[in-house]
Amino acid sequence: MQFIFDPPIPVKIQKMKERVRWRHPSIVRRLIDQTSMVLDNGNSDNPEFSFMVIGDSGSKAQNGHDPQRQIAELMLEHGDGCSFVLHTGDVVYTVGSREYYPENFIEPYREFLENGFKQNRIRYDNMVFKLPILPVLGNHDYYDVPLTCRLLTGATLPIRRLLDYKKNIEIGWHGSDCGDAYARAFLDYLQAIAPPDLERHLDCHYTAKTQTGRCLRYEPGHFTRLPNRYYTFRYGGIDFFALDSNTFNTPSPLPATPEGVALRRQLEKRHHELELEELQILTRINLNGSAEDTEELDALQAKLNQIDEIKIDIEKQLNHDNVTDFEQLNWLQNRLIESWNTEEVGGRIVYFHHPPYVTEATKWYQAQTLAVRHRLRACFDHVAETLGSATQGRPIVDLILNGHAHCLEYLQTTNTGHADSGIHCIISGGSGYYPRRQREEGSELLETLGRSTRKVADSVLFVGRNGYDQLERLPYSFVRIDVHDKSPFKLIVKPYVAERFQGKWYNYQLEPFAIGGGVKN
């Protein structure tokens, strides 16, 4: 049975363009760049600043305990002096529905919002941030629900909420409507502005200027909207690039060879096995809906979510639509080249949802992981070829931030044979949803191309689910990153963990580590 589905890439791209009135005549006439913004908080020229990174956070309170709120409180405790928060996607589970924004986003992050103490009065499409939360789209922010499932889950939603039902899955009357809820919550949703008011709106809020023209001005406490599903901004001499990896994660088509046919059969068999496993888990949840072991129910619901992700990954391989968002990737190439040719830029940080390198057990072998890695690698190769010796041995980007994998992980790429060599990667995807384990194969990541195998990355730190039965630990996490004014720049990464063990919470900070500044890790 199909419970959730991922809309086709062309639909995602077109819908998002319509929502921001992509290249509308009034926008073109004003020479507005819809992929840039200026974060105007009065401190953006300071070369020393701090920010936090969270991801995969958007879950409700789980049977009496709320991991997302636990992390939010840790952020409030250790976020002094931070200029903004980057969110690596999956803002609201399970299908990015507007019904769950109040409970799964506004409530846990109320202190970050204007009038947050009156969170019940804040509309999800009218949020104003005191401390900017700057997200990218995750796969769950795009997911939708078939009509038959919506009729069932929507009709039972009031009674599930009333009874605080322990198997209250986070699906009601709506899905994300192909990311519409996210767009209304975070983007400058120009489609909703009547034509007579559009030009007035543009003249009021697109007053900042960059090398590429006029752009949106993001003003904490006043107007806190993003210009597009992918965007860039400069802060403290660092260029940040936010990407939508949901539109360049399509796996390569299965080859029309005997091997390709055999692989298709294997995938179809695996998909069927997962559907049977899904039904078995649903039966267990129904039998245990009133059980005292709420941790087991949490685990079963998380397993359902994991199965859905694997099924969708298989479906992407079986039903290849041969679409890649080259418009966005070409934009990234051009902006990276421009960044390297700008003298005042001291570093480059890219963040998006799907990690190209990861050792979390369910993600390394996903076809989407390989697709994202190869598309990003091709982009970096093009940039490196264009720049030549201008990089002076530095990597194309200094840091990649991701989510999707429900863990905290720090990886370093080795000599991959491409321009994605020597890059630091941090996965901050453990900020609220059920943590997952590291794969059993270990911390070295090997890539096989043709007949050759090469080590492409090492996992230096992994914080995820560990232990079993009564000794099982569920660590949730976020990171604070302090930027130091060095040449080249230096980052100090401070990981924070809220761990649930035997029904209690334990908060702690891991040993900070340095990136850049000539430091060898």
Same domain, 351 and 463: yes
End-to-end Cα distance, the chain: 47
Same domain, 90 and 207: yes
Neighbours of 75 (CB within 10 A): 22
Same domain, 408 and 469: yes
Residue 208 lies in a domain: yes
Q: Name the token pair of 223.
A: 């107007």
Q: Is the C-alpha dihedral spanning 227, 231, 234, 235 positive or negative?
A: positive
Going from the C-alpha of 165 to that of each of 31, 162, 286, 291, 478, the distances in angstroms are 53, 8, 11, 11, 29
Structural domain containing residue 490 = 9-250+321-516
Residue 1 lies in a domain: no
Residue 498 lies in a domain: yes
Same domain, 21 and 96: yes
Residue 4 lies in a domain: no
CA–CA separation, 417 vs 84, rounded Å?
35
Q: Which pLDDT tens digits describe the chain residue by residue (521 residues)?
A: 567 889 999 999 999 999 999 999 999 999 999 999 999 999 999 999 999 999 999 998 766 789 999 999 999 999 999 999 999 999 999 999 999 999 999 999 999 999 988 888 899 999 999 999 999 999 999 999 887 776 666 566 665 555 554 445 677 778 999 999 999 999 999 999 999 999 999 999 999 999 999 999 999 999 999 999 999 999 999 999 999 999 999 887 777 777 777 777 887 788 778 888 877 877 766 555 444 456 666 677 777 777 877 887 888 777 766 688 999 999 999 999 999 999 999 999 999 999 999 999 989 888 899 999 999 999 999 999 999 999 988 999 999 999 999 999 999 999 999 999 999 999 999 999 999 999 999 899 999 877 789 999 999 999 999 999 899 999 999 999 999 976 667 999 999 999 999 989 999 999 999 998 644 43
Same domain, 227 and 326: yes
Going from the C-alpha of 335 to that of each of 40, 212, 518, the distances in angstroms are 21, 10, 25
Same domain, 303 and 415: no
Same domain, 290 and 414: no
Same domain, 36 and 173: yes
CATH number at residue 28: 3.60.21.10
Same domain, 293 and 408: no
Single pTM value for the model? 0.92
Same domain, 156 and 297: no
Same domain, 295 and 411: no
* DSSP reduced 3-state for 474: strand
Domains identified in the chain, total number: 2
Residue 106 lies in a domain: yes
- Strand bridging mode 444-449 / 452-463: antiparallel
Neighbours of 391 (CB within 10 A): 13
Same domain, 26 and 149: yes
CA–CA separation, 430 vs 496, rounded Å?
11
